[in-house]
Structure 1
């Protein structure tokens, strides 16, 4: 039986947001060192899982294998632009067996709703990058319950994940990453 390791990825503001209120990622949250690391992690994965909106917003120019989470899919189906999965009609196991039968690293670059789904299904690791000094009032939090829990870190800890030591990616722009492991 194939084995999978599921890793989530996000860069967040001081107030745990991944996007502005309109769903767009502001330039203030972007960072070249984090972007290079993130792209490397996506390249290492056998499958990238993201929501339908993210799939349409970010064309798959790198040609990575994708699993698109959408209620508009009929279970698990292969389309010209990737594998599509409706979690209400098929299990994660079924989706992974079809989209990545060889097993391996699964990268979840998210979207809030996809992050919420995988938080409940169980991340093996979550790579939480943080850019200090950026706030996005009224923005989209990395997880729906991040604010209710007080922070993304507290929410991850409440789901059995433990932090590694943070790694500074860009000292000048105050960007670091902490990998939360099961």
Structure 2
């Protein structure tokens, strides 16, 4: 994602809070992160906090997640794609909802560490409105979609994530809790 794309996103959706974090992850997690970036120029994800008019939050789970673990949907903006359009596409692909991105909330520059190995990554967090009923559009990638709440995400789901001892889940918990602090 280019600086021009981000500048247009900030002009349209507002300037995000920018944070820099370091997160230790396990060797198998580092191998997964490195493998996912090999041969790609994508070192980012866009995480969407999609709310419906009743204030419910769209949550997804992947097939390999332990029971009780859900998270906000997300993915990558493709080369040549505008930020909001890419985020909305990812939201639709993962939740089946018609998504309209409303605010660029947070940009986290994280360095994942494992022993002496480091991998930079950036997570862009957006707020969005969603219409429709959540549905799994890609059953190979997404194991489930549901409406939940920030309280659930930052409470029992966070507890389940942290209980795994996995660094990438701990990172997601920190992201979710940071978003909860920034929401009005």
TM-score normalised per structure 2:
0.27
TM score, norm. by length of structure 1:
0.27
